[in-house]
Structure 1
Amino acid sequence: MNTITVAAAIIRNDQNQLLLVRKKNTDFFMQVGGKLEPNEAPEQTMLREIQEEIGVNATIEQFIGRFETEAANEADHVLVSYVYHVTLEDSPKIDAEIAEMKWIDLNAEQTWLAPLTTEVVIPWCQQHGLATV
């Protein structure tokens, strides 16, 4: 079984919605993020991919963990994901290889979500509601 290693971002808004993107020529919505470059730390990958994909700088709030799931767009691949909760410094906009971007409600019935999103990210967001100030 082939392995793909990525860093992935959990990005939420004030309504506790989750930001997802769909890359060009793919069907599944997923976290902002991407593959690690050689000798690149997952944290660096995360911040670089956010800048490349949605054109903003971000701050890492928390390392959520390392997870293994089925890859969304590559058959017979395991996805190893380093997942981070981040906050954006500005409004996101589609950039680089992104075809579509949307905010989803955590309880919405979405048909085309990546396994990492459904198995790890949404349950984590549901358990860790937004802190009230």
Structure 2
Amino acid sequence: MNNTIHIAVALLIGPTGQTLLVRKRNTLAFMQPGGKIEHGELPVNALIRELHEELNVLIEPAQAAYLGAFSAPAANEPGFQVHCELFRVQFDGPVVPAAEIEEAVWVDAHSHGSLELAPLTRDYILPIYLLP
């Protein structure tokens, strides 16, 4: 059995420079918006689909700048790893939580400390966001 979940996620940056974190329904950890890559789907297309389904955010492929691939323990699936394709996306429109998203928060270098964070977000993605 393969215990790796392949996802595409966004380091979504708003007009004030904050980044968006989301929390799925019936979970505690905040993480990047995005989701699973379907079989045969390009990561950028998975990201576009997931941002639309989860947050009603519409972007074009050119708006997603590839930042790299990262792996960490899954926050909500014990015994699984997530392998993510990370994209930086500048976005200045409204964000409306939908589908399985219970909560969305904009954070910066000083406002994320009290949140429970998914390992991928805590160990890899926020350090990239916080680089000068």
TM over 0.5: yes
Identity of aligned residues (%): 36
SS of the equivalent of 1:5 reads strand
User: Residue 45 of structure 1: CA displacement?
Assistant: 0.3
The answer for the alignment partner of 1:118 in structure 2 is 122
Report the aligned-residue RMSD: 1.5
Structure number having the greater strand percentage: 1
Is 1:82 the equivalent of 2:85? Answer: yes
- Asked if the contact 1:56/1:89 (under 8 Å) is kept, the reply is no
> Aligned pair count?
128
SS of the equivalent of 2:124 reads helix
- Asked if the contact 2:11/2:86 (under 8 Å) is kept, the reply is yes
User: Residue 70 of structure 1: CA displacement?
Assistant: 1.0
The answer for the alignment partner of 1:17 in structure 2 is 18
User: Residue 89 of structure 1: CA displacement?
Assistant: 5.8
Structure 2: tracts of 5 or more residues without a match: none
The answer for the alignment partner of 2:108 in structure 1 is 105
Tell me the alpha carbon deviations over residues 89-128 of structure 1, each in whole angstroms, 9 at most, x when there is no partner: 621111111111111122331331111111111111111x
Distance 1:106 1:116 in 2: 17
**Which amino acid in the other structure matches residue 122 of structure 2?**
T
Which deviates the most, 85-94 or 47-56?
85-94
Question: Match for 1:71 among 69, 74, 84?
Answer: 74
Is 1:27 the equivalent of 2:31? Answer: no
User: Residue 22 of structure 1: CA displacement?
Assistant: 0.6
* TM-score for the superposition, normalised by structure 1: 0.88
